[in-house]
Chains A and B, each alone.
Chain A
C-alpha cells in the first residue's frame, strides 16, 4: 500500500511551526517511515506534485498571491490542517488589521509602490475549508505528533479545547494568579502547551489563543486588580492571536472598568 503523501506549506509566518516537525527528533524517523514527505521546503529539496493526502499549512494570508495559493493547496489536499497562530488566527502580523497598512509600508520600505499586500492578515479558514486547526505560537510537538498519528489511524485526535487551567491542575501546579497574584491569561486560553509558563511562575500570555467563549470581560478587571495597567492589558491580548475572536480589540471590553 502506498504511504500517505504529506506536504508542508508556508504562507506569512516565521517558520517556527514547521520547525516543530523537525523538532520531533525521536519520532522523526518513525514518522518518515509512515508517510512520504513530498513537499517541505524547510527540510528537503523534494518537491513532488499533488494531490496530497495531508497538507500542513503554516502562516496567514497577507497578499493576493497567498489567497490564490491556499486555494490551490486546498484543491490538491484531501486533508488540510493549519498549524500555528498565524494560520489559525492571522498571527502577530494581524496587528495590521487594526491599523493602516499603507502607513506601515510607507514607513518601512523605500519603494512602497513595489509592495503588493492586503489590508489584513487573516486565518486560512477565512479563505478555504480547514479540516483541523492546531493552535499555538509555536505549535506543540506532542500535539502535532498526536494529530498526524490520529490522521494516519483514522481516529479522532486528542486535542482538548479546555483552558490552560486544566493543564496546570494536571501538573499539580499551584495557581500563580491566586497564590502569587501573577496576572495570567490561562483561564481564557486554550490548552495545548502543557502550561509551560505558569509552571515556571510566569503568567500565561495566550499564545494558544482563546478558548471557546472566553470570558475576557470578567478576567480583565481581575488582571487590573492584580496590578496590570490598561496598556499592559492591551498589549497582552495584542500578540500572536490579536485577531482571534475574544482576544481582538473589537471583541473585548476596551477598558478594565467597562466589564
Chain B
C-alpha cells in the first residue's frame, strides 16, 4: 500500500478490521471529503436507497423476505446493518436517473439560444453496494459511459462516485449471482469492500481496500490489521453464501438458448401472465433504455428536451410509422429476455443480467425469469430430442432402403441420383 494523505495512517494492503462504531467515522470522513452519502435505510416498510445523515439510519437489525411478486422486511435476530438483499431500487436511480434534462432552447428575436443542461454532477458515496449491483454499475459503465459515451452526463456522474461495497453472506430467496458470476464476493470496481461479521457479542467488518481513494478514506477511520482467523471467518462466510442462492441460472448456455428460442411456445405461456407494466425493466439495475421528450411552454418561446426511462414493455417503445413493431405481449417479453440474456453479449460483451433477482421480486404477478429460462431450456431439449429421434428414424429408414435395394439394377439407379 502507498502513503496516504498527510496526517493519514499508513496502511498495509489489508485486510483490516473495523468496529461497527467506526461506520460513523467512515460516513463522516466521506461527508467531509465532499461526498453526498447514499445508502440503505428503512422507509415505508422497505429498505430503500436514500441520502444518509448518519450511520444510525442504516437498517440495523432489518432483513428481507423475498419471493416472486413479494417483498417484506423482517426484524432480524441480530443487529446486522447489511443483512438484507436487493431492494426496490438500484444505484441506477442515481447514475442513470428516471428523468433528466438534456438541453433547453429559448427564442429571442429570430434566433434560437440552445443551452445544454449543465446540472453539476454531485460527488456521491454509495455505501452498501452488493457485488451483483457493483457488476450492474460496471455493465452500465460499459453501455452509457465508455466509447462514444465517454463524455456523457452518465460518465460525469459516475466519475465522482466512491463505492463502499458489502460482500454478501446471506443471499435472498430470489438471488442467483453465483450463476451469473457476479458474487457473492465483490469483484473489482470498489474503493472499499466490507464483510459484515456479527454475533451476540461482537459486530465488526472486515475491510478490503480496492483503490488509492479507498486507502485514503480508510486512513481516517480507526481500523486494525485483521488477523488470519477473522479474515478466514469472513472469507468462508462469503464463500458459503455461494451455496445458499435461492435461484440458479444455466449461465453458460444462455446466449445460445436465447438465439435458438425465437419460436418457442413458452413465449405464449409467459405472455398470458405478463402485465407488460414495465416494472421488471425499471427495477433492473442494468436496463438502460430511454426515450426523449420535447416540451414547450404556452408562449412558444421556451422549449426543453428531456430524457426519460423507457421500457421495451411499453407499446410506444417500438413505435414506428404505421404502429408498434412489437405489439404483442409475447414479442415484448421475448425482446426483453433475449436481449438481457442473449444479444447483450453480442452488443456489449457480457450478459445483461447480474442475478440480483429484482425482476422476480418486483413483478406484480411474480414472473420468475429463472423459471422461464428453465422452461425454454426444457422446450429446447425436447425439440432437440425430437429432432435427434427423427434423424435417427430417417437414418434407419435410409439404411433399410439401402439394405432392401442391394440388387445390381436398383443400385445403379440409386447411384444416379
Q: Chain B contacts of A215 at CB under 8 A?
A: 272-276, 329
CB distance from B93 to the nearest CB of A (A): 6
Q: Chain B contacts of A218 at CB under 8 A?
A: 272-275, 365
8 Å CB contacts to A: which residues of B293-337?
A: 293-300, 308-309, 311, 314-316, 329
Residue pair B316, A177 in contact (C-beta under 8 Å):
no
Residue pair A163, B295 in contact (C-beta under 8 Å):
no
Q: Counting CB contacts under 8 A, is A217 at the interface?
A: yes
Residue pair B364, A184 in contact (C-beta under 8 Å):
yes
CB distance from A34 to the nearest CB of B (A): 5
8 Å CB contacts to A: which residues of B70-96?
A: 70-72, 87-89, 93
Q: Chain B contacts of A186 at CB under 8 A?
A: 277, 364
User: Per-residue 0/1 for B42-77: is the Cβ within 8 Å of any A Cβ (1 yes, 0 no)?
Assistant: 011110100000000000000000000111100000
CB distance from A74 to the nearest CB of B (A): 26
CB distance from B322 to the nearest CB of A (A): 16
C-alpha spacing A149/B295, complex, angstroms? 9
The secondary-structure label for the interface of chain A is: helix
Given A155-B294, A186-B277, A187-B364, verify A161-B315 contact (CB < 8 Å).
yes
How many contacts A-B (CB < 8 Å)?
130
Q: Counting CB contacts under 8 A, is A170 at the interface?
A: yes
Q: Counting CB contacts under 8 A, is B99 at the interface?
A: yes
User: Per-residue 0/1 for A160-184: is the Cβ within 8 Å of any B Cβ (1 yes, 0 no)?
Assistant: 1111011001101011011111001
8 Å CB contacts to B: which residues of A1-42?
A: 27, 30-31, 33-34
Residue pair A213, B282 in contact (C-beta under 8 Å):
no
Residue pair A178, B69 in contact (C-beta under 8 Å):
yes
**Interface size class of chain B, counting residues whose CB lies under 8 Å from the partner chain:** 35 or more
C-alpha spacing A179/B364, complex, angstroms? 10
Residue pair A153, B44 in contact (C-beta under 8 Å):
no
One of A34, A166, A222 near B69 (C-beta < 8 A): A222
CB distance from B359 to the nearest CB of A (A): 11
C-alpha spacing A172/B316, complex, angstroms? 22
Instruction: State the A residues within 8 Å of B (CB).
Output: 27, 30-31, 33-34, 145-146, 148-150, 152-153, 155, 158, 160-163, 165-166, 169-170, 172, 174-175, 177-181, 184, 186-188, 201, 211-213, 215, 217-219, 222
A-B contact sample (9 more), CB < 8 A, given A161-B315, A163-B275, A213-B276: A30-B298, A145-B298, A146-B295, A150-B296, A162-B314, A170-B308, A174-B88, A178-B69, A184-B364
